[in-house]
Structures are given as structure tokens and as C-alpha cells.
């Protein structure tokens, strides 16, 4: 019987099926960070249990760590307590722990792939919705709650209902200046934030096949923002080349055997999805959001929609969103003044994102009215951008690099956008207060962020590109 990529991996990990259809699913790797794990570890201790397979668990603080002064103790008492608790639990249970200033520390969804911990065919979970990032490598990866973190720690299994399957096909070639972030924001704007609820999405088509590994990580990262359980892309030569030689990747004969298996991880030609959606790459422009959810996105040269253009059922929330943002329907988004720019997060904190940002700011200067936070997704990213001289380009343009961490993606650390201020952010969510109480977030890709950083207003990056 023909199967989708998702079905091939899912069925290989089914341990048991309960009478009501609930699946006991084996998990290959659990990623733990400091926010959603304390109660899970407390549950283990209260029941006198230990992690079932400690070698399959990787712990790392990222949400609460500061991006300046990491060589000093964390000043915020709540953040410090959460980070210290994760370290204590990792030591108590003998788990791999990459703490602050460790060479492998950073954002867990950046560090996992770049070290080869994430591999095709795996099932991966973390107490974080953007675990969907790892699906870019041909894996089933999704976020779980704290009680499920405890379940995975104790049994290396989780109880799940099998989601429906969806294939999103993006055919054709992207236009100049359009990035993977723009693909994702375009799809979400078309699908809406609930359009993929109940589905696990496979991305396919010419435009997807032509992406790099890091671009695929960006696309799958945002799957959750349209309601999907997760997103994935079939592994291919791009995937294999990315993984080859990484620390935790198979070596020698085991590598050859792994690649032979990974090549079988593709959707069969006549496999049937529960739903299929098609888009044309040529229709995608550099994207920005104008509202308070990632589905409220438009091409950068478009005008903000008017209330009349919105379905009547959604007009009250639409008006509330525009009021929060201080925008008027019908106005152009391009040219709007901004106050902050954030490059980073598990969405756009990788080396390719810094290369893209640097390509725009090279030979230019940071706008005087803008505060810019440039935050590598890991220490490995920081080292690479320094090795490539990107740090010098940024410094000459008036920018300063910060230390790795989740930073201004969410208001859990010191990097908070003040109330009423506008931030062009390469992160994944623009909810009210996401970047700080009263902060106004405009989601965009690294090229749009760079253009805003040097002009002080929302600017089409293609106007600054050679």
C-alpha cells in the first residue's frame, strides 16, 4: 500500500494502539529547555522514577538566558531559578546538558540540527511548539506539554492521536529578494492561522526542493502558526550534504547504511493525502505582517486591508488588532517608521540569515532612530559569522552582535521591546505583548529586517539590492 512520508515514519514508531485509537508512539529524541521541564522532572522524583533512555535526551537553556553578560550570573531571579533548576535536574539524572557559555549552547532548535542530533526518520519532541523546525530534515517533530515531557522522560514514549495529512506544494521559482521566511508567511496568510489545524504538513514542489537546509528549517518552524501539528520536508541530497560530518551524524559504514535508509523516506507517487494545497512561487513577494497574528500578512508593496474586505465574523477582532498596532486599513505598509529590529530566534538565527542581513547593510549605516538586536542562534553560528568576517561588516555599519539565546522572540528575558514601539522581527509570533507588554511586532525575513535597520522605515529590500 502506498504511503506518505509521514505515514512511513509514524508507523515505524508505533508501539501499541489502544482500543479507542490512541497511539503509543516511540520517541527517538527529547529536547528539554528550562521553561517546560521543571514540573516534569519533579514528577519523576515524586514517583521515584528515572529517565528511561537518558542518552536520547538533550537539555539546554535558551528562553531565559540574557544575550549580554552571559559570563556573569543571570540577574533576573525568575530566569536564574529556571536555568539553575534545569542544570540541577540534568546533573541529578545524568543527562546531556549544554549550559550558558558551553560551545554547544544556543537555541535548542538551532543546536539540534547543526550538531546532527536531528536526523531523517526520527520522531522528536520538546516542550516548545516550534519543535516543528526539525521536520525540515525529514523527521516527525512536534511540541508537547509539560505532562507529556514527563511521560517521555519516564518511558521514551508518548500517547498521541494520529493527525491527518496535508501536502502543500509550492511550484515554480522564487523571485529575486524573496526568502524562505516569505514563503512561510505567504502560506500562513493564505491558509490563515487555523487552516492546517489537525494536520501534519509535508512541503513539496520545485520551490521547496530548491531551498537550502537552513531555509527548510525556517519554513517548517512556522508550520505551527497555521495550526498544523508539525511540518516536514522529504530528505534529499541537500539534507545528506548538510548532515555529513556533523558530530552526532553516523560515520563510516553506518553513514552509508543511514543514507540508504533515508533515501526511502519519501512519499510514494500514488500516496493519498487527506488534503492538498498548491501555490505558485511567482506569486510570493517579500512579506510583512500588519496585525497581531502571523496570518495577518501582506506583500510589502500592498496596502493594509480595510475592515470592509474582511469577513463580517472576523471584523471585531480585525479592528482590535489594527487599533493595537496603531495602523489604519487602506494605508501602505511600506514607509511606516519603526523603532526596533530583531534578527534571530529559531526561525531566522542561522548563518544564512546573518549573511542575508549583511548583504543589505554592507557599505551602509544603521539608522539613528532604530535599536537593533542581532542575536546568533548558537555559539557555532557566532563563530562562523566571525570566521567569515560578517561581524566586521556589521560593526562598520554601526551594529553590535549579542550573545546566543531566544532573545526578543518572547518576553522571557531582558530583551523586551518597550510599549508602543514598533519592532521588525525575524521571529515567529506577533501576538499582543509577545515581545514585551504593549510592543508592536511586524514579522519579516532577514532582508526586510536589514532594509528597515538602515532606513528606519519598512522598506522593500529589493530597492537596496544590487
Interior/surface letters 424-451, b for 16+ CB within 10 angstroms, e for the rest = bbbbbbbebbbbbeebbbbbbbbbbbbb
Residue 83 lies in a domain: yes
Given this model, what pLDDT does residue 1 score?
A: 87
Q: Do the beta carbons of residue 189 and residue 167 sit within 8 Å?
A: no
- Do 293 and 432 share a domain, yes or no? yes
Q: Where are the beta strands (DSSP E) in 29-174?
A: 29-32, 57-59, 96-97, 123-126, 140-143, 157-160, 164-171
**Domain CATH for 156:** 3.30.499.10
User: 21-32 pLDDT, tens per residue?
Assistant: 999 999 999 999
Chain-centroid distance, C-alpha 257: 30
Rounded CA Rg of the chain: 21
Cβ-Cβ contacts under 8 Å for 112 (sequence gap 6 or more): 29, 31, 58, 118, 124, 134
Q: Do the beta carbons of residue 288 and residue 448 sit within 8 Å?
A: yes
- How many domains does the chain divide into? 2
- Do 232 and 348 share a domain, yes or no? no
Q: Low-confidence residues of the chain, pLDDT below 70? A: none
Round to whole Å and give the CA distance between 174 and 283: 8
Local structure of 199: helix, strand or coil? strand
> What is the bridge-based pairing of β-strands 23-26 and 157-160?
antiparallel
Residue with cell 558530530: 247
Round to whole Å and give the CA distance between 7 and 274: 12
User: 152-176 pLDDT, tens per residue?
Assistant: 999 999 999 999 999 999 999 999 9
Given this model, what pLDDT does residue 466 score?
A: 72
Q: Which among 218, 58, 63 is positioned nearest to 134, based on CA atoms?
A: 218
Residue with cell 521547496: 208
Residue 172 lies in a domain: no
First to last CA, the chain: 51
Residue 451 lies in a domain: yes
Give the other-Cβ count within 10 Å of 15's Cβ: 12
- Do 342 and 449 share a domain, yes or no? yes
Domain boundaries, position 234: 5-162+228-264
Round to whole Å and give the CA distance between 231 and 130: 10
- Do 242 and 328 share a domain, yes or no? no
Helices 38-46 + 77-92 axis angle, to 10: 40
Amino acid at each position: 500500500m502506498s504511503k506518505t512520508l509521514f505515514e512511513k515514519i509514524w508507523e515505524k514508531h508505533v508501539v501499541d494502539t489502544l482500543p479507542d485509537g490512541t497511539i503509543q508512539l516511540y520517541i527517538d529524541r527529547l529536547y528539554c529547555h528550562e521553561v517546560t521541564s521543571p514540573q516534569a522532572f519533579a514528577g519523576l522524583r515524586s514517583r521515584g522514577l528515572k529517565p528511561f533512555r537518558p542518552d536520547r535526551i538533550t537539555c539546554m537553556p535558551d528562553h531565559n538566558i540574557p544575550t549580554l553578560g552571559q559570563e556573569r550570573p543571570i540577574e533576573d531571579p525568575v530566569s536564574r531559578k529556571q536555568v539553575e533548576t534545569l542544570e540541577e535536574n540534568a546533573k541529578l539524572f545524568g543527562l546531556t546538558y549544554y549550559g550558558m557559555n558551553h560551545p554547544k549552547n544556543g537555541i535548542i532548535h538551532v543546536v539540534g540540527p547543526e550538531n546532527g542530533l536531528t536526523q531523517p526518520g526520527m520522531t522528536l519532541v520538546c516542550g516548545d511548539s516550534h519543535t516543528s523546525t526539525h521536520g525540515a530534515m525529514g523527521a516527525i517533530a512536534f511540541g508537547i506539554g509539560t505532562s507529556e515531557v514527563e511521560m517521555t522522560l519516564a518511558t521514551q514514549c508518548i500517547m498521541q492521536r494520529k493527525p491527518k495529512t496535508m501536502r502543500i506544494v509550492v511550484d515554480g521559482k522564487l523571485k529575486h529578494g524573496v526568502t524562505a521566511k516569505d514563503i512561510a508567511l505567504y502560506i500562513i496568510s493564505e491558509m490563515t492561522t487555523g487552516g492546517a489545524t489537525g494536520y501534519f504538513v509535508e512541503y513539496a514542489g520545485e520551490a521547496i526542493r530548491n531551498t537550502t537546509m537552513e531555509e527548510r528549517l525556517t519554513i517548517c518552524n512556522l508550520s505551527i502558526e497555521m495550526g498544523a501539528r508539525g511540518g516536514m520536508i522529504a530528505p534529499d541530497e541537500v539534507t545528506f550534504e548538510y548532515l555529513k560530518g556533523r558530530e552526532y551524524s553516523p560515520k563510516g559504514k553506518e553513514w552509508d547504511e543511514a543514507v540508504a535508509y533515508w533515501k526511502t523516506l519519501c512519499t510514494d507517487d500514488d500516496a493519498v493525502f487527506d488534503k492538498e494545497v498548491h501555490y505558485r512561487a511567482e506569486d510570493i513577494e517579500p512579506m510583512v505582517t500588519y496585525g497581531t497574528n502571523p496570518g495577518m500578512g501582506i506583500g510589502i508593496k500592498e496596502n493594509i486591508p480595510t475592515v470592509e474586505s474582511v469577513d463580517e465574523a472576523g471584523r471585531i477582532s480585525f479592528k482590535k488588532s489594527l487599533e493595537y498596532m496603531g495602523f489604519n486599513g487602506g494605508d501602505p505598509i511600506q514607509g511606516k517608521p519603526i523603532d526596533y529590529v530583531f534578527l534571530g530566534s529559531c526561525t531566522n538565527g542561522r548563518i544564512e540569515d546573518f549573511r542575508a542581513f549583511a548583504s543589505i547593510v554592507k557599505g551602509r549605516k544603521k539608522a539613528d532612530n532604530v535599536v537593533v538586536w542581532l542575536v546568533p542562534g548558537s555559539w557555532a553560528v557566532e563563530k562562523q559569522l566571525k570566521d567569515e568576517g560578517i561581524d566586521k561588516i556589521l560593526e562598520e555599519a554601526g551594529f553590535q552582535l549579542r550573545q546566543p539565546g531566544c532573545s526578543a522572540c518572547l518576553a522571557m528575558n531582558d530583551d523586551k521591546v518597550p510599549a508602543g514601539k514598533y519592532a521588525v522581527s525575524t521571529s515567529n509570533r506577533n501576538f499582543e505583548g509577545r515581545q514585551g507588554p504593549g510592543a508592536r511586532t511586524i514579522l519579516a525575513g532577514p532582508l526586510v529586517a536589514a532594509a528597515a535597520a538602515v532606513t528606519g522605515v519598512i522598506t522593500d529590500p529589493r530597492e537596496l539590492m544590487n
